[in-house]
Every structure is written in C-alpha cells, then in structure tokens.
Structure 1
C-alpha cells in the first residue's frame, strides 16, 4: 500500500541491481535513472503517470523490465531495442505506443525471450518490422486486434507460449509454431472450420479456444496429443460426437456450451489425473457415467443440460468420487431415487474447514513464469449459485456445491446431505421428491443457498434450519409444507417468495397468522402434479363443466314440463 511518488534515491544508488516496487499505489512521474548497474526493474501495477524517462533506455545491463500504468505521451517501441541484454519486457496501459519506427527500419530484439503487451493501443500491428529470433513467450491480450493473426507473429518459429485472448481476431491463418506448448486464443471471433492444423504442434500441453465461433468436429488428433493436459473449447459450435480417446495426461476437459451428441467415451476413465470434467450444455444422450467414480482426483463433474437419462446406479467400489467438490447433473432426464450411495461417499465435501481469509483455487491451475513474466491459467466454469447464473473465471476451492435440479428424481431426501459440511450450495428443485425436509440439513453451517422448490415435500419446516447462519437464499416454494415458519437468525430475512404455494404454512413473513388450530392443509398445484397427476386445476375445470351441463339439463327438463302442463290444461278445457 505504499503511495505518493517514488523517491529519486531509489534510482540513483550506484551499485543497485534489483528494484521491485510492483503492486503498490505509487503515483506521479518517474525521476531520471542513474543506477546503470540495474538488471531488474519492476514498477508494474501502480498508478504512475507521465512519460517514461529517456534515461531508462541507457540501462544497458537491464535484463527484465515491467512497466504498467496510465502513461501519457507517445513512446516508440523501437527504443527498447537499445536494451540489448533485455530478456523479458512487459508493458501495459500505454495510450500511445508507436509500433512503427521513426526511420521505418527493422529492429532486432536479439535476446528477448518474453514479451507481454496488455491493454496497449496496437495500431498498425500488421505492418511492424520487428525481429524476435529467440522469443518464446508472446502475450498480446486485450488489445482489440482484428482480422488475421499478423504475419510477423507467424514468423516467430521459436514460440512456446502464445496468448492472444480477448481480441477480435477472425482467423488463425497458417500454423508454423511446432514447438508450441501453450495456446490461448479465447474470447475472439475465430471461425476456422477445421482446427486439425493445431495438431502440428506435437508438444501442446494447454489449448484454450473458448468463446469463439468454431463449427467443425473436435479433431481426434488434438484429443490424442501425447502431452495434452488442458483442453478448453467451451462456448463454440463444435458438433458431432466426442473423440473416442483422450490423452492419458489430461487434467482438465471443458467442452461446455457446444452441440456435441452421442455417448460419453468410456476412455475418459483412463485419464487418472483428471481433475475437471465439464461437458454441460450439449446434446449428449447416455446413462450416468458411473465408471468415472474410479478417478482418484476428480474435483469437478458438470454434466448439466444434456439428454442423460435413467437411474444413477453405483458400482459399489470402495472409494467413489473421494475428491469431488462440484457435482452438477441438473436439467437432464435422470429418474429413480437420489444417488444416496454417492452422497455418502463424497469425502472431500465432509471435511470441516475454517473461514478462509484468501482465495485458493482448484488445483488444476497453472502459472508459467518465463523470465519473471507470469502467465496464469485457471479452470473456469458457469454455475447456478443463489438462483443466479454466475461465471467463474477462477474456481475457488470453497465453491462446494451439488445441483440435481430439473430431473425426475423421486422418494425422500436422504439425511446423508447433512454430513457434507463444506457445502455452500444445494439445489434439489423441480423433481418429484416427497417426505419431510431432513433435520440434518441444519448441520450445514457453510450453506449459503438451499433450493427445494417444486417438489412434493411434506411436513413442517425444521427448526434446525435456523442454525444455517450463512444462508442467503432459501426457496421452499411449491411444496406441501405446513405449520409455523421458524423464526430467528437468517430466517427473519427471507421474503414471502421463499414459501409461496405452500398453503399449509403460516407465520412471519406471510400474512397468514398462526393460532392454536393449525390451518387446514391445502395442497397447491406443483410442477410435479402438472406433469404426473391431477392438480386442482383439472378438478376445477371438470366441476365447472359439470355445473354448466347440469344447469342446462335442468332448464330443458323444466321447459318441457311447463309445455306439457299447458297442453294438458287446454285439452281439459275443450273436453
């Protein structure tokens, strides 16, 4: 939290070789630099202003330089080529970084290994005349780059890590980076129909093509890349079936939000290091992949919004999903009882942890450090939390949740949920569950969201639920609950919406007051009744139709009787 201007003595000590003042609140200008022995200078992530001092380009011993702020004034990028020993350069926040040289001469960055330009106005980037004979890492994210990947990037055959995310690129073009290990082209407008050319890079470890417009099938050669550890292709338009086999070194596979169909490949059970499997929002049609329960490190399993069906059957092995933290199979066609055997085996959800003072993320994240330029790479996902669809660019380890909603599960809610002490989200809504709300749910002290709505749950709301001091969202609507709503703690903060369409409940916050005589239980309609039984609406319609028919028939009988009596009276008068 250091602030104000950086003292001039910091740059004037004659034997100083290392200066790191990054991640502070320094403001103002940088004074002239006379410490010519400097080899390392990191001023990134401050609030510096003004121009870069010309004396900086006299630091001939400098090997690593990081500058980021809202710099004013123009700066020719070619000036950095004077620093012949420079191996790592990171710049961000330059409003006017001039890429073309003053003399239109090609400049060599002879020893540069890592270059990072973030949020820089990269105008005319396709016309530059730079030469990077040794460059291994190139990061040009968040720069509004358009069209094809520039030719000068294609000419860097030494690249091992390339990150061009969050731009407006429409085509990759040729693919000459055979040594590439890390490729991130996410959040662009790429439409190349066939991405098989990526397989030319036989050493790929991480591939992120998420949030683009790719339309073809996923090439088998990519899934089989021998060193592949992370394959992120969500939010595209990939179609067809999933590859039949995957690299055994796979740690993360995210194909969410495509148009994939067919069966789940059983070969995924051979990926023993798999931590994250996200196949949600596709059109996969299969039964539950119980063969995944043998994966020892699996922490995230998302299969939501597919065409999966049938009961969830356990293979009854000794350790089933021991490290699972996120289990989302919502919006499918699963039926039968809730998977009680699995719920009892979720050991990682049971361990009690204290309140975390900082975020720890799912361990499938990577950090590449190449000459002090860090490339962070974390697993991401989209989940329904507290009733809202939420995007997580990083998945914190405390995000422990189960979502079994919008299926056809039936039977009672198992008490075993009460043993999953790390749960912060539990969603069982829109099923055919019946029986009481388990008292054991009151043990979930970390629970922030509980949704049991649109079922056929009966009985009273357990007083133990008032122990849920972290609860922010509660939805018990559209059930058959009755009795007094518990008071105290978080329960005093919930609105009528949490209890609507439970005609048997009373008390705050509802307008229905409780008395010694419990209100007569009235069962409202529920989604389950609409789907599988007769609710009050069909009965009311039948009753109304019967009344209309009965009244009409009565009128006809009465009119016929009066006509008959009149005719009889006239006949008697004539005779």
Structure 2
C-alpha cells in the first residue's frame, strides 16, 4: 500500500511538473500550440534571409562588442521545416501567430536591401531592428507597406541615398534610428507628420540643407540627434515647441546664426550639444532657465563676449565645454550659493585673460579641468588647485605666466591625478624627487618647458604617456625608460640627445604597441638594436638625426604592428629591408644614401598611404605595380635615379605624386590620367580639425613640395590637398589631354622636360589649380584662353618655350612677372605689354646715374653750341677770303698732286 501511494504521488508530481513546464514554455515562446507560424510568413522570412549574405566583418564585430552585444549569425537557425516563431530574432503575436518583431542586429548581414523585399508582406510587423550589420543600398520604398511599425532601427549600416518620404508615411513610429549610414539629401518637411516619435536619430550621415521647421511638430520627442552631417542655416524657432525634449545634439554640422533663443523654452533639457558649428554672438546669461541642464557643449564655434557665468550656477550642471571659441575677458563663476556639482570644465583656447579665479576651489567635485591658453598675464598662485582632491585630468598648458612651476610641490596637491599637461610653461623638476612611488600619474606632458634635465622621478611612476619634446635636454636617453612595463607613448623630439643608454632589461609596452618619437636630436651611430627587443612598435620616428649604417632588418619583428616608420634626413645606406611592410601606413626614408631598387614586397602593404623615398640613390624603373595598393595617397620619388617610361596605370586614391628630378622619359598617351580618381573628385571632408589632416593625434605626415616656384614644407597634409610634379625629367610628346580631368589638382609642375605640341585647352577645367609651371619645354601654339578664368590660379610660368599668340587677359595673368613669359618670342597682346612695359624701370641708383649722365650730355651740347656760334663768323670770313684768292688761281690752291709735283721740280732745279 505504501508503494502504491508512492507511485501515485510520483505520477501526480510528474503531471504537475509537465503542466508547469508546458505553461512556462507557452509563456516563453508567446505562441500557443494551436497557432504555429503561418506558412506564407515563414516563406517570406526565408526569402528575406536569402536576400543577404553572411559577412565576416570586423567593423560590425567591434561596433557590437563596444555595445555589449556578442555578434553571431542569427539567421543560421532559420530552417524551412521549423516553426518560424521559434527562430532567433523573431517575435510572434501570442494569439494570431503573426510575425510582429524582427531583431537581426549584429548578425553579420551584408548585401543590398531589395526594393521589393519580401518583408513588405509582413503586414503586422511593429518592430524592425537591422542595426550594426553591413547592409547597403537604398532603404526600400515599399517600407511604407509596414504601416504598423512603431520602431525602426537601421543604424550602423551602409545605407545610402535620400531619406525616403515613404519612411515618414509610417505614422505610428515612436522610434526611428538611421544613424551611422550614408543617407543624403535634405530632411523631408513631411517628417513633421510623425507626431508619435519620441526618439529620432539621424547622426553621422551625409544629410544636407536646412532643418525643416516642421520638426517643431514632434511634440513628444525626447531625443533628437542630427550630429555629424552637412546641415546649414539656423536652428528653427519652432524647436521651442519641443517641450518634452531631454537631449538635443546638432553638433558637427555647419549651422550658423546666434545662440538659438527658442531652446531656452526647453525646461526638461538635460543635454545640449552645439559643438563644431559656426554659431556666433554671445551665450545668453538667462541660460539658467534650463534648470535641469547637466551637459552643455558649445565648443569649436565662434561665440564671443564673456563666458556666461550664470551657467555655473545651474544646480544640476556637471559638464561644461566651451573651448575653441572667441570668448574674452575674465573667467568668472557667478554667485554660487551651494556646492556645485560641476565635474568637467573645458575653456581651452579662447581669449580669456586675467588671474585664475580663486573661487575655482569651490568646485571640489571637479574630475577634469581644461584651462590651456588662459592668459594669466602675471604670477599664478597654484595652491588654489590644492582643494580639487578628486581631480584626475588637468590641462593648464601655455598659461603665459611668469611663475615657475615646481613639479614636485605641484604634484603633492593631488592624490588621484592621472593626466597632467604643463606644456609651454616654466617647469622645474628636482631629480632628488619626493614624489610618491604610489602616485597615480600615468600621462605627463612637459613639451616646451625649458627643461635641461631628464625628469628622473618618472622611473617610479606607472607611466603610459610621456612627452618631453621641445626642451633643452642633452646627453643620453636613460636605459631605465625601457623597463617601464606600461609605456605606450614616448616623445623625445626636438632636444639635443646624443645617444641611447643601453638598457639591461627591456619590458616596455607589454600591454600595447609603443609610439617612439625621437626626431630632431643629435643621435649618431647605428640605430640602436635594443629597439628590436621591444614587445611591439606602432610609430618609430627617428628623422632628422645623424644615424648611419643600415636600416635594421630586425624591424621586421614589428611587421604586424609597425604603422609609421620615419627615418628621414639621416645618413643611412644600403637598401630597404624586404620584410617590414605588412602593416605600414607611412614609410618615409627620404634624404638618406639608400641604393638598390624599391622592394617588390611593398605590394603586400594594403594599408600604405604615404611612400617617400626622395633624395636617395635608388636606381629603378617606374613602380607601376604600386597602383595595386588600395590606400596609396602620397608617392614621392623625387631626386633619385629612376629611369625609363612612366607606364600607363591607375592610382585611384593618389593625391600627391612627385617624381621630379629623375631620368624618366617617353610620352604620355592622351588617356593617361583617366583613372586617377582622387585627383578628379575628392568631394567634401569632415570639418573637424583633427580629421582634416592625414595621420592621427600621435603623428602627422609631412611632405616638401615645389609650389609657386618655391620649396614649401607641409607640416600637416590636408586630406583635400593635391599636387602633381613631373618636372626635371626627359618626358616628350604632347601633354596628355586627360590631365584636364584632374579637377581637384592644386599644384601642377611639368617644367624642365621636352614636351612638344600645344598646351591642352582641357587645363581650363582645373578649377582648383593654384600653381602651374610648364617652363623650359618645347611647347608651341597659344596659351589657352580658358586659363584666364581659373580664379584660384595665382602662379604661372610659361618661360623658355616656343609659344605664340595672345596672352590671356584674365586678372591672374596681369599679376604675373614678365619673367613668366620670357624666351617666347611669339607671344603678344595687351596683357603682355602691361606686365612687361616696366621691365627696364631703373632702380634709384640707376636713376641717379642716368640724371648725372643727362647733365653731362646737356653741358656737352651747350659747349658744342658755343663752339658752333664762334665758328660761324670765322667760316663766313674764310669764305670771303677764299673766294678772292680762288678767283686769282694761285699755284698752291691747285690740285695737291700738281702742287707737290711742282715743289719737287723746284727743289731739283736748285
């Protein structure tokens, strides 16, 4: 009996568990067993899956990882024979079985979005999330058929084209995210119809035009993001209607006008981002009406006037960034009644002056403080910072103070300070340091501080970044530097170091690659071999020293990490190693004594952007095989022994090419430049200063070019700068007509060759051209009249050719020097007469000599006149006497021959 009850109990318990399991399963799957996925919807989903391909994209992988999501192919679980409501990423209605949600974010999807996508048949769909994939093409116009959509997330893909009006037909949308794509065109005014929207994110696209005032109709909007586009004009006053808005981001655009007063109505606003625009005028002091503001960034604009001190009295304010504007006057913080919450303050690079206010000590919650370029104009009491116990980041470079900062004393104020920038101030460092070994300092910038000794206390710190460039430190670089296990950035440039002390142990950069910059010193001898013992190197810049010997082959140890190698202006010889190029972005070995040929292994450098081997003894043919490098932007082969023809090839990304002063020869086919895409159309670039130049925040590429007849060094290279220099070779034949396709070209130099024929009229299409030199060739015919309409062209040189005809009459031509046309006997016209008429205008010295000569000539003329006046009467008298004598015919008036004969006869008789 006992066994029976046990059996019954067990059976009942099993049924209960099964019942609970079934209930739980139904709840989890949200689909009752009587409503499986509809066959037509399963078919539509399978078709949708087949529209795409699964990519192995590292970019989408990292975007997902940073967002806390592990990417994986969700569609791999989709099988024809299974219930689609159980597929990963699919949500169905619990009653009808209709597909109502698709979430395929971070699924490695690639390919184009089909205009007639099968998605349009899922009429009950209310949530669609395809974010963080690699989907391209235009957003399908048939998306308007998904009329029940409330949430649409297509962010972080490669969508392009206009923002379709079909999206704004989705009147039930509450969430719309199209950020991180390439959508273009203007924001449609019909976007105001999406009155249910609470979240609208169009950040980081290519949207242009003005913001439509209809956005003011989105009364429920809590977030609006328009950051990182090309939007122009002013912020519409209708923004004042968005009274539910808590965050507004219009940064990184081209917006202008004064501070949008309408925003002061947004009393729920907690974050306002206006940075990187063209706003002008003052920031109103009644900004305090934004009483819930915690985050305010108006940096990199053109705001003027005094800083709005009332901003610092907003009780909730935590972050204020006003750097890179034109504020002037004294920094003030207003009447602070209670301890402020401010944690981050940045007023770098304005026109602020006067003493640093002592009230800054009230901001005891400050974690980050930027006061660089604050003109203190006198002594500074640095003890005012001693109350900022929570400070972790402090930037006070270039204060223009007479006070010398004792680094030992200064660091004693802080226990948590991790980053300190004192560059451009007077700093003293006592190497018998009392600075604690447990200091939290990991980034130290002491560039241009007038130091003469190496800061020894650094050896006791957990240093990641150390910048002691632009000082007067001499002698050896200490060997203990390489025992710092976490060092990732070391800048020793522009000192007078002569040697590297050999380290006993090398531990540096265990965590990541080392950036080592040691240019412009007095280093001699071979490149130190211990560099090859480092864990890995990202940047190695040893340029402008006196290193000799070979380039170490052991640099190949870093072929997977080394991105910048700059050994320019040394005395290195031998050839380039074959094994160092795999990860290089910049290779500059110009102005050495290198020989041999360019290594063909350079072709395995898929990331190479800059290759500069100028002023060596490299003897090779034109490296046409470099055209296979997908990222090559700068190629400089100047002043070597390259020779032979320049083969027809394409350089799709090339912006600067200088192959001057070699032995290249041959002619160019007319279509030679057809595939030089970057010089034809670069488009616009992002205006943020850090992104306008080649390189990164640690290293900037530079190049020396001939421009407007002068050698010019570009310390930083604009991403839109283009130049072509083929001068000083033996090129012949006609200049290729296709050169007129290079509409982005700024500098063109074809001088000192043997070009013949006419200057192609297609050069009139080079609308960005600033400098043109075709001198010292054998060009004939006329100068194209179209060149006179090139508004940026300020330098031209046509000298030493065989040109004929009229010189163009444009303003640019009238500003040239006459020497720009010399040795072209067939040139003529009013323009030439105008600029060459004063070619012999005498100097003041010559004028003085000329005046003296004229005076002498005048005196001489007067003397002659006087002589003539005196001679005339005498001549008249002589004529009269002569007439009388001649009429009597005396012997001595006869022919001289006869007279002499008679004299001889008379002599003989006697």
TM-score (norm 1): 0.82
- Determine if the alignment matches structure 1 residue 141 to structure 2 residue 469: yes
Does structure 2 conserve the Cα–Cα contact (< 8 Å) formed by 1:312 and 1:339? no
| Structure 2 partner of 1:248 | 582
SS for the counterpart of 1:205 is strand
User: Which aligned pairs between 1:121-520 and structure 2 lie closer than 5 A?
Assistant: 121-125=450-454, 128-129=456-457, 131-150=459-478, 153-154=481-482, 156-175=484-503, 176=506, 178-179=508-509, 180-225=513-558, 226-314=560-648, 320-338=650-668, 342-351=672-681, 353=683, 364-367=694-697, 376-511=698-833
CA distance in 2, matches of 1:13, 1:513: 71
Does structure 2 conserve the Cα–Cα contact (< 8 Å) formed by 1:196 and 1:222? no
The more displaced of 260-269 and 331-340 is 331-340
SS for the counterpart of 2:808 is coil
Deviation at 1:202, TM superposition (A): 3.0
SS for the counterpart of 1:182 is strand
1:251-303 deviations in whole A, cap 9, x for unaligned? Answer: 11111111101011000001011111111111100101111111111111111
Q: CA RMSD in A?
A: 2.5
Deviation at 1:468, TM superposition (A): 1.3
CA distance in 1, matches of 2:357, 2:581: 53
SS for the counterpart of 2:384 is helix
Does structure 2 conserve the Cα–Cα contact (< 8 Å) formed by 1:19 and 1:41? yes
| Structure 1 partner of 2:342 | 16
Does structure 1 conserve the Cα–Cα contact (< 8 Å) formed by 2:591 and 2:615? yes
Does structure 2 conserve the Cα–Cα contact (< 8 Å) formed by 1:313 and 1:339? no
1:137-195 deviations in whole A, cap 9, x for unaligned? Answer: 10111112111124664553431110111111111222535315200001111114233
- Determine if the alignment matches structure 1 residue 51 to structure 2 residue 377: no
| Structure 1 partner of 2:370 | 42
Structure with greater Cα Rg = 2
CA distance in 2, matches of 1:270, 1:237: 27
| Structure 2 partner of 1:77 | 407
Distance 1:142 1:123, change over 3 A: same
| Structure 1 partner of 2:331 | 6
Does structure 1 conserve the Cα–Cα contact (< 8 Å) formed by 2:483 and 2:508? no
CA distance in 2, matches of 1:23, 1:83: 25
CA distance in 1, matches of 2:435, 2:347: 33
Does structure 1 conserve the Cα–Cα contact (< 8 Å) formed by 2:412 and 2:435? no
CA distance in 1, matches of 2:593, 2:728: 20
Deviation at 1:512, TM superposition (A): 9.7
Distance 1:41 1:467, change over 3 A: same
Whose helix fraction is larger, Structure 1's or Structure 2's? 2
Does structure 1 conserve the Cα–Cα contact (< 8 Å) formed by 2:453 and 2:473? no
Deviation at 1:364, TM superposition (A): 4.7
Distance 1:194 1:233, change over 3 A: closer
CA distance in 2, matches of 1:136, 1:512: 64
| Structure 1 partner of 2:357 | 31
CA distance in 1, matches of 2:787, 2:339: 64
| Structure 2 partner of 1:522 | none
Deviation at 1:13, TM superposition (A): 4.3
CA distance in 2, matches of 1:213, 1:270: 30
| Structure 2 partner of 1:564 | none
CA distance in 1, matches of 2:347, 2:370: 6
The more displaced of 176-185 and 235-244 is 176-185
SS for the counterpart of 1:281 is coil
SS for the counterpart of 1:198 is helix
Deviation at 1:489, TM superposition (A): 2.6
Deviation at 1:360, TM superposition (A): 7.5
Deviation at 1:500, TM superposition (A): 0.2
Distance 1:141 1:194, change over 3 A: closer
Deviation at 1:223, TM superposition (A): 4.2
1:361-396 deviations in whole A, cap 9, x for unaligned? Answer: 6765122xxxxxxxx321111111111111111111
Aligned to 1:108, which of 419, 424, 437?
A: 437
Structure 2 gaps of 5+ residues are 1-325, 837-910
Does structure 1 conserve the Cα–Cα contact (< 8 Å) formed by 2:805 and 2:826? yes
Deviation at 1:9, TM superposition (A): 4.2
Distance 1:435 1:129, change over 3 A: closer
The more displaced of 33-42 and 271-280 is 33-42
Distance 1:206 1:190, change over 3 A: same
The more displaced of 473-482 and 332-341 is 332-341
CA distance in 2, matches of 1:145, 1:342: 52
Does structure 2 conserve the Cα–Cα contact (< 8 Å) formed by 1:258 and 1:281? yes
Distance 1:343 1:183, change over 3 A: same
CA distance in 1, matches of 2:507, 2:641: 39
CA distance in 1, matches of 2:439, 2:686: 46
CA distance in 2, matches of 1:162, 1:184: 6
CA distance in 2, matches of 1:251, 1:172: 27
CA distance in 2, matches of 1:356, 1:107: 44
Distance 1:132 1:71, change over 3 A: farther
CA distance in 2, matches of 1:78, 1:509: 69
Does structure 2 conserve the Cα–Cα contact (< 8 Å) formed by 1:208 and 1:232? yes
Deviation at 1:124, TM superposition (A): 4.0
User: Which aligned pairs between 1:485-564 and structure 2 lie closer than 5 A?
Assistant: 485-511=807-833
Distance 1:99 1:464, change over 3 A: same
Aligned to 1:91, which of 393, 416, 422?
A: 422
CA distance in 1, matches of 2:459, 2:548: 35
Distance 1:109 1:338, change over 3 A: farther
CA distance in 2, matches of 1:20, 1:512: 56
CA distance in 2, matches of 1:342, 1:253: 27
CA distance in 1, matches of 2:468, 2:495: 9
